Structure 1
Amino acid sequence: MTQAFWDRVTGARVDRLPAHPLLGRYQLTETGRVNGHDAAAHTPVVPTGSGRWSAGVAGRLGEGTFARDALPDPALAARTAAVVAALATASQQAVPGPPAGSPPSQETEHERWIAVPPLATDLIAQLRAVPDDDPVELLEQAMDADLSRLEAVCQRPEARLRPEASVVPLARARRMAQDAVTYLAAHTEDWQRRSIGGVFPRRLRAIHNEPDPNLYENQVAVQLVDHLIAFVEWRRQRLEATSSVLTDLDELAGQLQSRPWRSSHRLATLIGEFADRVDLNEDVQRLLRRTREHRRRLDRLRTTRLYRDRQVTRRARFSADLRQTNMFVHHQDYRRVAALWRAWARASRTAGLDSSVAPGVFCTGYDQFVALLVARALDALGYVATTPHAPITGGPDLHYEGPGDDILVLRIGNDGVVELSRDGHALLVVVPLPHPLTADGSAGTLHAFVDDLDRARPHTGPPRVVVYPGTRAELKELPPRLRARADSVGNDLPGGPGIGLLPATPTEIDGVERMTRALQWARVASDAAGYPPRIRCPADLLGELTATGSGWLRVADERHLAMDRPPTPAELSTVDNRVAAWRGRRVSPGRRKEHQASADALTAGLHTARALLDRLAHCPVCGLRLGDPRGLHARAGTFTATCRNCRSEWGTRSCGHCGTDYPVIETTSQRSAQGHPVATSGLGNELLAVPCWQATATGTYICPNCGRCGGWGGRPGRDCHRCADPDERN
């Protein structure tokens, strides 16, 4: 199949898929068919229930199989669908009109959309006010009351007597079968002796009654055990996910005192969305204990006489309203089993216990979840949307205004990839990948995928980050090096920049923090790479401007100026006046157009450089601008600055190996994080270049260009084992 698929991770067309493709990675490049159904361009190639896929484009067909773990986890898919449903409701709901005499409401669709928490909080909301007729709660109450009756039925089931004919010794025969004489006449081996009066049999074909447990009522009981086990597992997963969210809230609340106050304010705002729910952890733990006890009792029923009897039919399907048999009406145990069945049927119907999310729907939903993370991360960095509509796939661009009058543009392509740009230049590309890379304990899928990413390192173009559904528990099970690779923006990789990997799920609250870290690096690193900004300047104006802009303008070379710090409005106005005066000088008519173009380019260059420095003069942690532009100190092509508000230090450093300048942030939390393999997942906007976790020297950062840190290859006692050993770096 020629160029039939689009690889979202690398942004390239491919001829064919690998033997076991990743879920959501590949899409059709044009209209075709997926799994036998018509599909538009950018439709993801997803597995069927059997794990196979087929795709056709332009009359040519390809097919194959997905990996075992490609199908989405039902709990993850359901929670993603819950977040997507909340986003759809927020986009469609009408804004209520303001009360009489009050100013008109200014709430936009984007504001309602971004207000949706990136967490599946449906269970939390349910626990806050459980109605008396809640079907899930009623089912659990019925299990508390009637599970012992189901145990009694499984251990001592009723059975009907089924007459069966068989050949038995004469002493055991109680009732002859109708064909007993005919059978005896044809089987002389069963005769004991003959006499003149007839035959004395040794064995006789007789009727005996066998107990038959395959009753309608017993079939219901056996299937009810399976249904209740599935319900309890569904309930356990939801409760554990909710407990994880509440635990995250408690942990984040405990970190507020150790962070700068503006960073604490950002976290407090996030926690404040769930302020009325954090006290539910005790209730959740109580429900978890009850659920686990139910699971233990149900597991024991799998060893009972009735459940292990293979004579009981398991393929029959029963409606929610069981037939009113005599046993279901009058038998004290079976009557309660029928009531338990009806409670389960009601919960299954109303709570969606048997609902499943198709792989294609999950892929689309995860794309929207990642878009929500990006929008929330922009909000955490102080950016405000100036366009009213919500981010949608293939929709119009969204404009955001942030610190330093920075304007960013967010665009979601038809393939679901999110691109963030400034002045027409892409800063960051975020690729949703709904395949659980770390779910497999062997991490084989992650190993292979990391190898693909390393082979596809973007030597040019904006940074790319792949967001996948991974949890902290899964990351802890990985080897240290692979754990660091599975949670990286791509700026701390051995050998230089690469495609980053960020885990994020609707059940963990720090997905926004990870995305904030990626956006922080993208927006600041692009500016820091241009420090100090250079402005092309006519040679006869260099000396005059550097004298006028003494302290912030200097000569870079014979054709360029360098701006070391942002000028004040008065300083910039003075230089603009000098440029305007130079523009008005009399020149020959043949050079007039060129002279004016040079003046315009110089003015534009000065203001562009000033805008870049103004963005760098804003604290990346709390967003506050330096009170005095002279607080941005230039030295040997790098700069440092200290925030008077949160006391964070930021600036650029020069790599001793490759000479690349890169931005860093020095905070109290980072200074105490030395020696930890991965300590970056929750730092959010408090991190730019990543501290090296194996360097013996403090304050060493990994160069994003060469992947080595400041403790490598220099003075005795300061060599970094991670950077010196090629095996460690790779």
Structure 2
Amino acid sequence: MNEGIVNAEPSAVVMASIVYLYRQITGADDVHSILDTPLLVPDVAHHARLTPLDADIVEFLPALTGVCRQPHDRLGVEHVLVRAPQARRVPVAGLTRLASHSEDWAGVEFDRVIPERLLSVRYTDDYDFYENQVAAQLVDRLRRYLGGRIGDLRLLLRHLGDLSRYGAALEGKQSYWKRRRLSNLLAEAVEAAKDQVGPVAETLKRLEDLNEDVNLLRSSPVYNRANRRAPIPYRLPRTNLLMGNYRYHRIALLWEAWALRDADQSVLLKEQHRDFEPAFNTYALAMVLRAFGVLGFEVVNGPLDEIGERIGLVDGHGTQYGLRMTADEHVEVLLGEETIAAVVPFSSDITAGPSSDHVQESVDALLRKHGAAAVSTVIVYPGDRSERAPLPRRLQDQVHWTGRFSAFSGTPRQLFGMVPVSPLEIESAERIARSLRWILHATRLQQLFPPRIPAEPWVQFKPRPWLRRQDQDWHLTKPMAPGELGRLRDEIRTLDSAYIARSLSTRRASAEEVIAQVDAAEETMRLLTNCPLCPGTGPVAFEARSSTYHCQCECGAQWGTRICGSCKEQFPVLWAGKIIESGLADLMGGDAIDAALGSETLALPCPNFSDRARFKCPWCETCQGAPACGCDR
């Protein structure tokens, strides 16, 4: 596990699920087989069945209750100082004490002392002996065991409930592409979940009832008066009481069942700890591949999981990308031969700290370690929604966010994201896909407009509404209509010939070099107008503004750039029109964004807009509609 993280172990169910999926993934033949592997937990039925220890608790708990409430006892003797009329038996030590403590005398008559207080013998019930210590400590051990089982089952039941919730969400307003992705994911799990919810809920209710009965024993005489810290071996010595008494004998059997389960669980946990980090690294690679699939990429070639080997990817518009796992288990995203981003698997659960201060320390440590990287970085870690929910709002954003920039002195601002993933949360692939969308699309949308053509002294274009001169460049402000590119090339060649005829001076670029720059600008404009949500080739409405632009695809997607009125920075926006037009009043926090928008967003929309789409600046987090919108972030 990773160092420097407090109490960073994921839940046992998450660890077991990821190790299980790791074995499924490593058994796949190729990358396409990984994509076909269900990355949600495929079967939770074995968690829902009563374990042998569960069955033993059901059988032997009445005996434990009987012992704790009405135990065997021994006669204990104690000396207490009482008023003389109350003394029944006075030991020799009591007379000796009376002789040396005159304050306990009522007076002296002739040759004898009249006592006021005497040390008397009292016989009491003594419960603190070995067999009762076994019973008292068994109560604590069963409480811990049942608490862990109940927590695991609640986590699974919440996961199955999420599947049902997402199934209902298919009827809500969302883009066609998100509905199709969600349908495919749910197809992997919903049918199985229908048969699993009942057994999980039934077992959970039964264990909760058992746990309540065990907790009631904390008020019993044995639990309060027997030593619960005395060392007791896993294998109990066979005393007469444990062997000869019916109830105590059943307690011994229950102790041995617990000890056997605890020993087996310790071995299993050691194996999981040993396997978890490499398992999570492989799981993260599989999730990145799934996230690229969410973004419309296809795998064209590549190895299964070989260090340094490249997995080829191509998007719906033909752009070639690649993935490569490094020796330190990072997943590099390549454009050509250039590394443009890194996905860093982090196998500790940073939200599992004992307090929000410890969680904040972990977040700060990760930012210091990876925030100054030379490329954009996304950290994926095994996190659970129930652990994020109690954190302060600001900290919730820090442990689940993307689309912001880290800035360290002397380093360029790079995108930096932190994304929780889990086999028990169906949104995991959408979260990583949203981070990758920022890396793949945000820079392109934000920095490439308007495409520039270096202005040569001899190139004086005829006036065109979509081509304007600014400083030392020509700016292309809209896509060229069919035939315009050819006419522009012809004009460049004509200008080149005229310039050669009237001047013999040297110049910086030839006609073909200028044409190549025009072609590059047109290619850039084509990239800007490619729909991020669909692979369609239909018409895209393009509107150029002063220094920003806006596109709308026939599929309903809209994208472009905006300028923040507060910090004056430019930022990219993307949304599916039907969704944002329906209002997002409940859009608060990363998990809500996952459910409402998935990967189909860049800068986050304001949840309180009315007449038009407004967004929050990812640089300063100021909303375009503030303060009238009432948005608190």
TM-score by length of 2: 0.76
CA separation in 2, counterparts of 1:267 and 1:256?
Answer: 8
Matching residue's letter, 2:20: A
Greater shift in the superposed pair: 348-357 or 239-248: 348-357
Aligned ranges 1:361-380 → 2 under 5 Å: 366-380=280-294
Kindly tell me: are residues 80 and 284 of structure 1, through their superposed partners in 2, closer, same or farther at Cα, counting changes over 3 Å? closer
Query: What letter is aligned with 2:147?
Result: E
1:399-425 deviation digits (Å, cap 9, x = unpaired): 321121122233444455444342455
User: Is the contact made by 1:515 and 1:684 (CA closer than 8 Å) also made in structure 2?
Assistant: no
2:410 maps to: none
Between the aligned partners of 2:219 and 2:98, the Cα distance in structure 1 is 45
> CA 1:327 to 1:87, structure 2 compared with 1: closer, same or farther past 3 Å?
same
> By how many angstroms is 1:284 displaced?
1.8
Q: Which ranges in structure 1 are unaligned for 5 or more consecutive residues?
A: 1-23, 25-43, 48-69, 96-106, 131-135, 191-201, 713-717, 723-727
One-letter identity of the residue aligned with 2:544:
R
Match for residue 427 of structure 2? 510
Match of residue 552, structure 2, among 642, 646, 649: 642
Equivalent AA in structure 2 for residue 681 of structure 1: D
- Rounded to whole Å, the distance in 1 between the matches of 2:370 and 2:68 is 60
3-state DSSP of counterpart to 1:316: coil
Give the superposition deviation at 1:220. Answer: 3.6
| Separation (CA, whole Å) in 2 of partners of 1:476 and 1:208 | 56
Deviation at 1:580, TM superposition (A): 9.2
Q: In 2 relative to 1, CA 459–145 (structure 1 residues): closer, same or farther, beyond 3 Å?
A: closer
Deviation at 1:477, TM superposition (A): 3.7
Q: Distance in 1 between matches of 2:251 and 2:302?
A: 55
Shift of 1:471: 4.0
Letter in 2 for 1:653: R
Q: Aligned partners of 2:476 and 2:456: how far apart in 1?
A: 13
- Give the Cα–Cα distance (whole angstroms) in 2 for the partners of residues 525 and 433 of structure 1: 25
The aligned residue for residue 531 of structure 2 is 619
2:157 matched residue in structure 1: 243
Q: Structure 1: how far apart are the matches of 2:268 and 2:229?
A: 21
* Counterpart contact for 1:638–1:661, Cα < 8 Å: no
Q: Indicate conservation of the 8 Å contact 1:677/1:694, yes or no.
A: no
2:512 to 571, 588, 599: 599
Q: 1:681 aligns with which of 573, 591, 594?
A: 594
Correspondence for 2:7: 71
1:140, CA displacement in angstroms?
2.0
State whether residues 437 and 599 of structure 2, in contact with CA within 8 Å, keep that contact through their aligned partners in structure 1: yes
- The 1:163/1:443 distance shift into structure 2, 3 A limit, reads closer
CA contact 1:222–1:314 (8 Å) conserved in 2: no
Structure 2 CA distance for partners of 1:214 and 1:121, relative to 1, 3 Å: farther
Q: Percent identity between the aligned chains? A: 23
Aligned residues: CA RMSD? 5.1
Q: Which letter maps to 1:649?
A: Q
Deviation at 1:266, TM superposition (A): 0.3
1:407 aligns with 2:320: yes
Q: Call closer, same or farther: CA 1:235–1:160 in 2, change over 3 Å.
A: same
**Maintained 8 Å contact 2:542/2:552:** no
Deviation of the 1:720 alpha carbon: 6.0
**Which letter does structure 2 place at the counterpart of 1:664?**
L
How many residues align? The count is 599
Contact 1:535–1:561 under 8 Å retained in 2: yes
1:662 equivalenced with 2:572 (yes/no): yes
- Per-residue CA deviations over 1:241-298 (Å, capped at 9, x if unaligned) read 1011111111111111222222111011111221332212232222221111111111
Q: Output the CA distance in 2 between the equivalents of 1:324 and 1:156.
A: 21
Alignment partner, residue 333 of structure 2: 420
- 1:533 — aligned with what? 451
Equivalent residue number for residue 193 of structure 2:
278
User: Which residue is equivalent to 2:148?
Assistant: 234
The separation in 2 between residues aligned to 1:285 and 1:540, in whole angstroms, is 79
**Could you tell me which residue of structure 2 aligns to residue 263 of structure 1?**
178
Matches within 5 A, 1:348-387: 348-350=262-264, 355=269, 366-387=280-301
CA contact (8 A) 1:154 1:304 kept: yes
Cα contact 2:22–2:282 (8 A) shared by 1: no
C-alpha deviation, 1:152, in angstroms: 0.8
Which structure 2 residues correspond to residues 245-644 of structure 1 after superposition, within 5 A?
Answer: 245-258=159-172, 259-279=174-194, 280-311=196-227, 314-319=230-235, 327-350=241-264, 355=269, 366-390=280-304, 395-433=308-346, 436=349, 438=351, 443-445=356-358, 462-491=375-404, 499-529=416-446, 530-536=448-454, 540=458, 543=461, 554-557=467-470, 559-560=473-474, 562=476, 564-565=478-479, 599=512, 602-603=515-516, 605=517, 608-621=520-533, 623-628=534-539, 631-636=540-545, 638-644=548-554
| Higher helix proportion | 2
The code of the aligned residue for 2:444 comes to D
SS at match of 2:189: coil
Q: Give the Cα–Cα distance (whole angstroms) in 2 for the partners of residues 216 and 143 of structure 1.
A: 21
> Cα distance 1:586–1:467, how it changes in 2: closer, same or farther (>3 A)?
same
Which deviates more from structure 2 when the two are superposed, residues 341-350 or residues 682-691?
341-350
SS of aligned partner of 1:627: coil
Deviation per CA, 1:294-344: give whole Å up to 9, x if none.
11111122222222234577312123xx55655555533233323333433
Letter in 2 for 1:643: C
Please give the secondary structure, in 1, of the residue aligned with 2:171: helix
Quick one: which amino acid aligns to residue 378 of structure 1? F
SS in 2 for 1:684: coil
- C-alpha distance 145-691 of structure 1, shift in aligned 2 (>3 A): same
Relative to the length of structure 1, the TM-score reads 0.67
Look up the equivalent residue of 1:686 and give its one-letter code.
Answer: E
CA distance in 1, matches of 2:129, 2:393: 57
CA contact 2:564–2:624 (8 Å) conserved in 1: yes
- Within-5 A mapping of 1:9-408: 44-46=2-4, 70-73=6-9, 76-93=10-27, 107-108=29-30, 110-119=31-40, 124-126=44-46, 136-159=50-73, 213=127, 217-258=131-172, 259-279=174-194, 280-311=196-227, 314-319=230-235, 327-350=241-264, 355=269, 366-390=280-304, 395-408=308-321
Partners of 1:442 and 1:421 in 2: CA distance:
38
